[in-house]
Amino acid sequence: MIPQSFIQDLLTRVDIVDVVGRYVQLKKGGANFMGLCPFHNEKSPSFTVSPTKQFYHCFGCGAHGTAISFLIEYSGMGFVEAVKDLAQNVGMVLPENEDRIPPAQRAENQARSMALSDVMARANDFYRQQLRTAQPAIDYLKRRGLTGEIAARFGLGYSPDEWDSLRQIFTEYENEALVESGLVIDKSEEGGGHRKRYDRFRGRVMFPIRNTKGQVIGFGGRVMDGGEPKYLNSPETPLFQKGSELYGLFEARQAIREAGYALVTEGYMDVVALAQLGFPQAVATLGTACTPIHVQKLLRQTDQVIFSFDGDSAGRRAARRALEACLPHASDNKTIKFLFLPTEHDPDSYVREMGAAAFEEQIREALPLSQFLLREIIGENDMRTPEGRAHAQFAAKPMLQALPASALRLQIVRSVAQVTQSTPAEIEALFELEKPVARVRVTPPRGKRTAPVGLERQIMRLLVAHPQLAADLDAEALQAVGNIAPDRAQMLEHLVGVAQSMGEQASFASLVEHLREGGPEFDSMIAEIASESESEFDVVRAEMAGAIRMSKIRAIEEEMQVLVGSNLRTEEERNRYRELMQHKEVLKRQAGPAVAS
């Protein structure tokens, strides 16, 4: 787990304007920077980046966050990956609590990773340059209906049909980074005492594979004749793991947001051709089955993922593996569908022959995950017989166990129960499902706590916007605010504790990253603050002092009312009443004539 102190220090050093500016064209507009929102389609800029708050906010779609959340939402990175990326850019080394690698070795690993990135970038430039004069490769791409513009967008290239063409740019051809990156193969000759090196990719159209940051981490090479293998991929390397990467995701991110879904295909050429034909939201797995990591990456980008498969037996097997990869990530607010084209077509050929409108109709009619799962478990089983129904249940068990407990799982359980002539409770019991809901009385959800209002809300908003103000809150102030709204006391106590623990360097952006782990309680407040202009700190501090004074006065008045209600029978109660009256007058004088009883 990354220490919060590291996150706080990181957000202090990082300039969110620089981070967002890498991906969004920003223009100065008053105290903030403005641009077109990368999270929804708009023609006039409503996306603001505040250098003082170190926060972004879109007035159009409501997206907001810190530099960390921007990378997560825009690039599809995980939290740790985003933190590492930002840390690397400002020269910070991520503390790894469970990592026992010595600092010297860690530095060596980082240098090695940079060396691999460098050779991949240089090789990519070389292949792209070679394509300009490789007429057979140009003719092949034209036959496939691709334009120069789309080839440039995806960075397509060509590897000359020579054993060591990379020597032209790597004079140090013996460099181990060339082998480790998968660009060069190093083989020992049988019976010989020396080694033989040669280029892995020869005479192929080259498809660079980029990570979420746009760095080239691998290649796919396609032959232009009938040679085998038709596609040759980079091997697994420290930079490139096939089960974690998707071809075209870097290029498709904006299109996925605009379309509202990601289309997963089976090959490089499908992705490039579909982009040419008006479907730039397509991506592809890299010569391997779809994995849960692939699904997780896609669902970070969009709430809807549609898998497209050929209708042959290989396509059906691939679809089944994709289904199994999706199950752990299926949820009530995500949609996963499966599209099966006629046996004789892939997406490229289907669009060219049938047209874009027909393909869009296929996408709309794609099978939802629930229906595809039912189709798979029924299979060839005869549901009219006990044996057939038992076989279907046997097939369903591991899939239902892989689904997280949710309303979607309950709906699927009911469907399985119906086709196998069982009850949902029987299915849950028979399959030993985690957190069953069909066979127990579901406890009604607890009513949500009321949103903070009045003085309580004012104090909370000031603390979220300016966590340094937590130092001004003494025990009496906390108790006074807690008395105003007892049901929010825990929320306020948590907020003050986090803010005070951050010290003088506390900032709005770093506090937000602390609070995001605790749930959505502060989300609406954060969104409001993000959309407002910055106030002078002295003015804000005076506002906080006034709110605290009013809280104390109200707490005093409430205690005085309780004492009056007891008729002030004892000397102790009368003395306490006089003390409270004096304390109230002192607080009122501090506030000036504006404070009324």
Tokens 């000359």 map to which residue? 160
Same CATH fold assignment for domains 249-365 and 454-591 = no
- The residues pairing with 478 across neighbouring beta strands, listed in sequence order, are none
Q: How far apart (Å, rounded) are the C-alpha atoms in residues 224 and 206?
A: 11
- Whose CA is closest to 467, among 544, 524, 532? 544
**What average pLDDT does this structure show over 127-147?**
95
Helix 508-515 with 4-13: angle, nearest 10 deg: 150
Superfamily of domain 4-89: Zinc finger, CHC2-typedomain (3.90.580.10)
Helix (H) or strand (E) run with residue 336 in it: strand 335-340
pTM: 0.68
CATH topology of domain 249-365: Dna Topoisomerase Vi A Subunit; Chain: A, domain 2 (3.40.1360)
- pLDDT value, residue 445: 47
Contact call for residues 374 and 415 (beta carbons, < 8 A): yes
State which amino acid sits at residue 388. Answer: G
Which string of DSSP letters, residue by residue, matches 114-172?
HHHHHHHHHHHHHHHHHHTT-HHHHHHHHHTT--HHHHHHTT-EEE-SSTTGGGGT-S-
Helix (H) or strand (E) run with residue 526 in it: helix 523-531
- Whose CA is closest to 216, among 155, 171, 289, 138? 155
Q: How far apart (Å, rounded) are the C-alpha atoms in residues 307 and 198?
A: 37
Highest mean pLDDT among 88-102, 302-316, 539-553, 568-582: 302-316
Highest mean pLDDT among 68-77, 130-139, 556-565: 130-139
Q: How far apart (Å, rounded) are the C-alpha atoms in residues 483 and 78?
A: 40
CATH architecture assigned to 454-591: Orthogonal Bundle (1.10)
Q: Is the dihedral of CA 362, 365, 368, 372 positive or negative?
A: negative
Contact call for residues 56 and 49 (beta carbons, < 8 A): yes
What's the residue count for the chain? 597
- The residues pairing with 188 across neighbouring beta strands, listed in sequence order, are 195
Chain segment 579-597, per-residue pLDDT in tens? 888 887 887 777 554 444 3
CATH topology of domain 103-188+195-233: DNA primase DNAg catalytic core, N-terminal domain (3.90.980)
Asked whether residue 192 carries a pLDDT value surpassing 80, the answer given is no
State which amino acid sits at residue 480. Answer: A
Chain segment 242-292, per-residue pLDDT in tens? 888 999 999 998 899 889 999 999 889 999 999 999 999 999 998 788 999
Tokens 């779609």 map to which residue? 61
Q: What ranges do the domains of the chain cover?
A: 4-89, 103-188+195-233, 249-365, 377-431, 454-591
Asked whether residue 77 carries a pLDDT value surpassing 70, the answer given is yes
The residues, ordered by sequence, that sit 6+ positions from 427 with a Cβ below 8 Å of its Cβ are 393, 396, 400, 413, 416, 417, 420, 433, 438
- pLDDT value, residue 181: 94
Asked whether residue 412 carries a pLDDT value surpassing 90, the answer given is yes
- pLDDT value, residue 99: 53
- The residues pairing with 511 across neighbouring beta strands, listed in sequence order, are none
**Share of residues in the chain with pLDDT > 70 (%):** 89
Tokens 């999270």 map to which residue? 39
Copy the structure tokens of residue 355: 């047209």
Contact call for residues 275 and 251 (beta carbons, < 8 A): yes
Which string of DSSP letters, residue by residue, matches 356-409?
HHHHHHHHHTPEEHHHHHHHHHHTT--TTSHHHHHHHHHHHHHHHHHSPSSHHH
Alpha-carbon separation of residue 247 from 10, 228, 253, 284 (angstroms): 31, 21, 12, 5
Which string of DSSP letters, residue by residue, matches 175-219?
-HHHHHTTSEEEEEPTT-SSEEEEES--SEEEEEEE-TTS-EEEE
- Whose CA is closest to 532, among 508, 503, 498? 508
